[in-house]
């Protein structure tokens, strides 16, 4: 079957068919996938059968992989795999349950943040547990020229611990590592190194403040930007099926899980995270 790319919304996402990620892609097929990734920011591969080793091998073709700070949620002999799971074994969590139930971009609290993430659905709920994605490139492009100009040159502080403040469910199984990552600073607007599009680079999960603004200004400006980024016109909702592999561009979107399922609906997923080595 030939590789095909089918857009999912006008502003974000495409489904890739005719690809088996469990074996190495030819250079030609990978080039097509890579270009689709740059063009659409999010790619859905249905019906995959991915071992941790195969997931790591495919992810590494985009760049070096990052090891998550929450070590207890990693696969012991494949630490590039971060487990998002509400399963337990012998009464202990298998991975990180109910992770990311807030808008965020993965690992913006790192000095060198993430280029992209690949999340593989090993076992997903029959109903619920969707993931929402929103284009920060489209969000920037639909701001007024005056607001675009205002944001240029501003910087924002990101901190891992920020995601766990006032989010009781997010704290489950993780607070021991909150202070292992000190705050970092990134530009509020970044130019995507491959597409050339300008993107908003802040999120409600990890962004503490815009450094150049007063506290009252921060509250108003950041809330406006968070609301603007996640308008219906910018959002894609992915309904998971077992065997889905979803690759997304953390430079050009934010995402969040939907907490509408419980422990009686198993949700077990494997994530790899690709480092962004570009200069901004």
- Alpha helices by DSSP H, 125-214: 136-141, 145-151
* Annotated catalytic residue, options 68, 96, 104, 197: 104
Q: Kindly list the distances between the CA atom of residue 35 and the CA atoms of 41, 99, 225, in Å, as whole numbers in the listed order.
A: 10, 29, 28
Active site residue 167: no
How is the chain split among helix, strand and coil, in percent rounded to 5?
25, 30, 45
**Cα angle for residues 220, 162, 85 (degrees, 5° grid):** 125
- For residue 225 the two structure tokens come to 């930007």
**Nearest one of 93, 105, 169, 173 to 136, comparing CA atoms:** 105
271 is catalytic: yes
Residue 17: beta bridge partners? Answer: 4
Asked if 106 is an active-site residue, the reply is yes
Phi-psi region of 271 (alpha: psi -120 to 50; beta: other; left: phi over 0): beta
Active-site annotation holder among 68, 138, 162, 271 = 271
**Is the Cβ–Cβ distance between 81 and 261 less than 8 Å?**
no
Residue 126, φ and ψ in degrees, nearest 5 = -65, -35
| Catalytic residue (choose from 40, 68, 96, 106) | 106
165 is catalytic: no
- For residue 173, what are its two tokens? 């199984």
Catalytic residue from among 255, 256, 268, 270? 255
Residues acting as catalytic residues? 104, 106, 255, 271
């Amino acid at each position: 079957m030939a590789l095909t790319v089918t857009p999912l919304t006008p502003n974000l996402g495409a489904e890739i068919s005719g690809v088996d990620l469990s074996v190495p892609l030819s250079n030609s097929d990978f080039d097509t996938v890579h270009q689709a990734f740059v063009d659409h920011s999010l790619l859905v591969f249905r019906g995959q059968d991915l071992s941790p080793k195969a997931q790591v091998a495919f992810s590494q073709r985009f760049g070096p992989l990052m090891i998550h700070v929450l070590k207890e949620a990693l696969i012991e002999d494949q630490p590039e795999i971060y487990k998002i799971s509400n399963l337990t074994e012998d009464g202990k969590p298998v991975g990180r349950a109910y992770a990311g139930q807030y808008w965020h971009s993965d690992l913006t609290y790192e000095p060198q943040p993430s280029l992209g993430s690949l999340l593989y659905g090993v076992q997903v709920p029959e109903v619920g547990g969707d993931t929402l994605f929103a284009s920060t490139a489209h969000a920037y492009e639909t701001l007024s020229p005056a607001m675009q100009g205002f944001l240029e040159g501003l910087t924002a502080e990101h901190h891992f611990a920020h995601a766990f403040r006032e989010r009781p469910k997010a704290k489950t199984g993780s607070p021991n590592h909150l202070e292992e990552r000190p705050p970092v600073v990134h530009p509020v607007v970044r130019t995507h190194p491959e597409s050339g599009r300008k993107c908003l680079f802040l999120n409600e999960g990890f962004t503490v403040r815009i450094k150049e603004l007063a506290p009252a200004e921060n509250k108003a400006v950041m809330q406006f930007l968070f609301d603007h980024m996640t308008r219906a016109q910018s959002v894609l909702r992915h309904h998971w099926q077992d065997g889905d592999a979803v690759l997304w561009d953390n430079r050009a979107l934010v995402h969040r899980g939907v907490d509408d399922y419980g422990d009686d609906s198993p949700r077990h997923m494997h994530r790899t995270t690709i480092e962004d080595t570009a200069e901004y």
